[in-house]
């Protein structure tokens, strides 16, 4: 069986973003049930020097839209990073899913060897596509998705592993 760059990028990003949308839905519902201002969750952080929930979602979507775009040699769409509500974060996820839906397997064929230019530590660097995807884009994406989940879990939202995995 052959695994394609499409499957391990667009396929994975799409599935995890849908799961993240479910996590945010559960958080918004929980805020309503507990009569908590949603801003409490949206501005919550795990530590003072970490980004808040809203920024975690923004960065996760940045990696999800950026990786396939770079691998396919397309321009990366720019988003404003001004989402301040659950509805706006859900719209951002939906916009990212719509962007991912524009890719076909053929768009990413051969991209494992394509040179990708990215900015790391304040300087431009180039990486082969597969190395970029597996060692930069995916770990960063998962970090921010997981941190968003952890922020909400820490704040008492009753989430479980199945929600994180997209099975609920």
Q: At a CB cut-off of 8 Å and minimum separation 6, what does 110 contact?
A: none
pTM confidence score: 0.96
pLDDT at 119: 86
CA 14, chain centre distance (Å): 9
Q: Which domains can be identified in the chain, with CATH numbers?
A: 5-165 (1.20.120.450)
Cα–Cα distance between 35 and 145 in angstroms, integer? 25
pLDDT at res. 55: 99
pLDDT value of position 168 = 60
- Among 131, 124, 117, 36, which residue's Cα sits nearest to residue 76? 117
pLDDT along the chain (168 residues), means of 10: 92 98 98 98 98 99 98 97 98 99 98 92 92 97 98 97 84
CA distance 21 to 150: 14
Measure the CA–CA gap between 87 and 31, rounded to whole angstroms: 13
């Amino acid at each position: 069986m052959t695994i394609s760059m499409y499957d391990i990028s667009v396929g994975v990003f799409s599935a995890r973003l849908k799961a993240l949308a479910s996590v945010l839905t559960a958080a918004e519902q929980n805020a309503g049930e507990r009569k908590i201002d949603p801003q409490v969750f949206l501005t919550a952080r795990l530590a003072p020097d970490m980004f808040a929930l809203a920024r975690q979602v923004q960065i996760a979507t940045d990696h999800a839209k950026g990786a396939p775009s770079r691998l396919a040699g397309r321009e990366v769409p720019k988003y404003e990073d001004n989402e301040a509500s659950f509805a706006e974060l859900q719209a951002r996820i939906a916009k990212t899913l719509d962007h991912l839906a524009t890719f076909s397997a053929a768009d990413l064929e051969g991209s494992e060897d394509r040179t990708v230019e990215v900015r790391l530590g304040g300087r431009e660097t180039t990486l082969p596509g597969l190395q970029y995807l597996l060692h930069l884009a995916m770990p960063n994406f998962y970090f921010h998705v997981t941190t968003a989940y952890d922020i909400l879990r820490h704040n008492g939202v009753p989430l479980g592993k199945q929600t994180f995995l997209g099975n609920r």
